[in-house]
Amino acid sequence: MTSGEQRQYGPLGTTLVIIPTYNEAANVESAVTRVREAVPEAHILVADDNSPDGTGKIADGLAEADEQVHVLHRKGKEGLGAAYLAGFAWGIERDYGVLVEMDADGSHRPEELPRLLTALKNADLVLGSRWVPGGRIVNWPKRREYLSRGASLYSRVLLDVPIRDVTGGYRAFRRETLEGLGLDRVASQGYCFQVDMAHRAVHSGYHVVEVPITFVERERGDSKMSRDIMVEALWRITAWGVRGKVNKLRGRRHT
């Protein structure tokens, strides 16, 4: 938890749940249906990267049947970060008060979204966390658990970010928070996009809260995690950490 607990927060406004998709034809309808059932007042934006398996067409059908479901068709697969940035821009332009990141594959349980939104009433950013008390994972091999825990620990220490689950992707932002983070300067993609956003929020002085969630391994479709994504995350996080520590040392020398 970061600073800002004494601040007075205004009403949340309408929630937009952004679900980025690439080849999620087997999952997108279930994801949308579960969100609509869990938070009936929320709107949903499916940001599809021109999926060759027809995910975009399925999403179009869902949008035709439900005015609270929308589809953003993108030109091609450009990475998770680019999809979320496009979704944020779409939602901010239409004055949504809350913008939520959620995976399409069922790993982020829509039924837990009300707890994230409740916590956001007194926060700038709420993270669904696997690594705080009450958080847990289901159907993960130990190797993947150790990798995820290690990545969060590495990021937390190197970037001086007091967050247990820095890499998690189930998040709820106030619109004002996103507007203050300098989204036009965010260039990270893939795995490190989440680290980048958390790092920016903490060091911009926003109040960040972690809420325990149960993370469930996908049952259908293929994970988008790859070696290239992991390598990008490692070098970017290392570069950010080194730059931050150098800047801190320079500041000390000038005091």
Q: What is the per-residue pLDDT for 253?
A: 43
Residue type for 246, please? V
**With the C-alpha atoms ordered 180, 203, 159, 175, is the resulting torsion angle positive or negative?**
negative
pLDDT per position as a tens digit, 191-238: 689 999 999 999 999 999 999 999 998 766 555 555 565 666 666 667
- Among 3-17, 25-39, 67-81, 239-253, the minimum mean pLDDT is found in 239-253
pLDDT tier for residue 180 given thresholds of 50, 70 and 90 = very high
Q: What confidence score (pLDDT) does residue 240 get?
A: 62
- Domains of the chain, by residue range, sit at 15-253
Distance of CA 195 to the CA centre of its chain: 9
| Bridge partner list, 71 | 46
The CATH number that domain 15-253 falls under is 3.90.550.10
111-135 tens-digit pLDDT: 999 999 999 999 999 999 999 999 9
Q: How far is the C-alpha of 79 from the C-alpha of 68, rounded, in Å?
A: 25
Phi first, then psi, for residue 167 (nearest 5°) are -95, -5
H or E element at residue 99: strand 98-101
pLDDT, averaged across the chain: 88
CA 29 to chain centre: 20
Find all residues with CB under 8 Å of 85, minimum gap 6, and list them: 183, 186
pTM for this predicted structure = 0.87
